Chain A
Amino acid sequence: MTRDRTLRAIRFRAMNTDIEAAVWWHRGGEPPWDDVRDWFAYVERKFSRFLPDSELSRLNAAGGAPVPASAAMLEVLRLASACRELTGGLFDPAILPNLEAAGYAVSFERIGARADAAEGEMPPRVRETGDPWTIHPDLRMVSLPKGTRIDLGGIVKGWAVDKIAGWLKARGAEAGLVGAGGDLRAWSDGADGTDGLPPWTVDIADPWVPERSCAALEIREAAVATSSVLGRRWQTPQGSRHHLIDPRTGKPGASDVAQCTVVGETAADAEVAAKTICLLGSRDGAAWFRAVRPQGGAVLFTFDRNVIRIGSINLSLERSIRR
């Protein structure tokens, strides 16, 4: 079966991260890479909080007034509602003011270059019930309460990967993989391996030396996402800060988990689960994950250098990281 198909791959930058896509495509044909590039540029123009004219920025700046919403915005908000419910509020896009107060007010690449990246006054965080937004479906509009601003960065990369993976599959890619900044989705029509296509190999970055891999996974029909409190870190006069805000405290999370990789059905789901486990810590995070995703798998790296596997995960650990 592989004789009439060839593996084609592309890598490029978008959404301030590395994007990669690989598909088994019929020989002589060119995969729709222009569409893939355009999709990620389209998503960035809608959901970036650093672009003042993005749809998200307009919603955040509306001061409580309803604003027209695209189908993409409505779908992501619906998904965010489901994730918020699934995580008991630990996934909460309304933490944006806290994230900015912690110093993450400009794109990560620019934090180090800014003199005012220092920590500001941390807004108190009171956990609320219900979504911070109101969707007016018949009018296709969305509104936020006055003073509320949201960041959908914790879910959009995974969602964008899931969407374009489905789109490529629908256009004839029988097997493929799409990844954005480490959140990836793989598929294969011959998920049982009978069509001769090899599985996808996914290396997991070493939490302490990210350029190095510390483990590898083999997947056919799955999504993988990794979250870490070591990656996006910056210094403030008050100490080191990272981008995972715990809505219970309004401050960067302080659990025993340094990095978590989750294998799930969708990249968005895996992305949210990995972040939630990082916030909950190894004991509560493992219990939560087993309860909500009994079929899923995860691997946790704790600050005391323990490696904990949860559920079914087909993982080969490098010798250097085995305990």
Chain B
Amino acid sequence: MRKPTLAALRKWAIGIGCTLSVAVLFQQAKESDAFQKIQNIEPQARSGAPDSPEMTSPQQEDGVMDEWQSHRRRGGGLYERGGDFGQSETETPFRSRTRAS
């Protein structure tokens, strides 16, 4: 085979190899747990459907609360820095109050 043809074939082979590598990489990323989690968080953002913060059951995953708890576990707990935050107490009966905020 002539040299120019060989060089062209080598270029094509490298190109195909790179393309396949990138495809495999994207496929692996798409199948990863992290990507699946984001997919679960975002379906309504894509559809534009209205959202409402409903009560979550222990079985339901909640990306927001998971992210917050993960932030805490990584040592990002925030309230300790804030100084006086009141105290726990027992009150019976308990009365709440609504006012302009």
Contact = CB atoms under 8 A, between A and B. Distances in A.
Contacts of A186: 96
Contacts of B77: 34, 38
Interface in B48-64: 48, 50-58, 60, 62-64
Interface in A196-245: 198, 200-205, 207, 210, 213, 217, 224-228, 230-232
Contact of B85 (A37, A200, A213): A37
A150 interface: no
B99 A226 contact: yes
A227 to B, nearest CB: 6
Contacts of B50: 81-82, 85-86
B98 interface: yes
Contacts of A137: 38, 42, 45-46
Interface stretch (A110-118, A157-165, A248-256): A157-165
B82 A41 contact: yes
B35 to A, nearest CB: 9
Contact of A166 (B54, B88, B100): B54
Size category, B interface: 35 or more
Contact of B52 (A7, A79, A213): A79
B53 A78 contact: no
Contacts of A17: 101
A274 to B, nearest CB: 9
Contact of B45 (A22, A135, A268): A135
Contacts of A228: 99-100
Interface string A1-21: 000001111111110010010
29 contacts: A12-B85, A13-B84, A17-B101, A30-B88, A39-B68, A41-B78, A41-B81, A71-B63, A71-B67, A72-B68, A75-B53, A137-B42, A138-B42, A140-B38, A159-B53, A170-B57, A182-B101, A184-B96, A201-B94, A202-B96, A203-B96, A203-B97, A204-B97, A213-B97, A226-B101, A228-B99, A265-B52, A268-B52, A269-B52
Question: Which 7 pairs of residues, A with B, have the shortest CB-CB distance?
Answer: A228-B100, A231-B100, A181-B101, A82-B50, A205-B99, A12-B86, A41-B78
Interface of A: 6-14, 17, 20, 22, 30-31, 33-35, 37-42, 45, 70-72, 74-75, 78-79, 81-82, 85-86, 135, 137-138, 140, 157, 159, 162-163, 165-167, 169-171, 177, 179-184, 186-187, 198, 200-205, 207, 210, 213, 217, 224-228, 230-232, 259, 261, 265-266, 268-269, 271
Given A41-B82, A74-B45, A78-B51, 9 more contacts: A7-B92, A14-B85, A38-B78, A137-B46, A162-B54, A166-B62, A177-B96, A205-B100, A226-B99
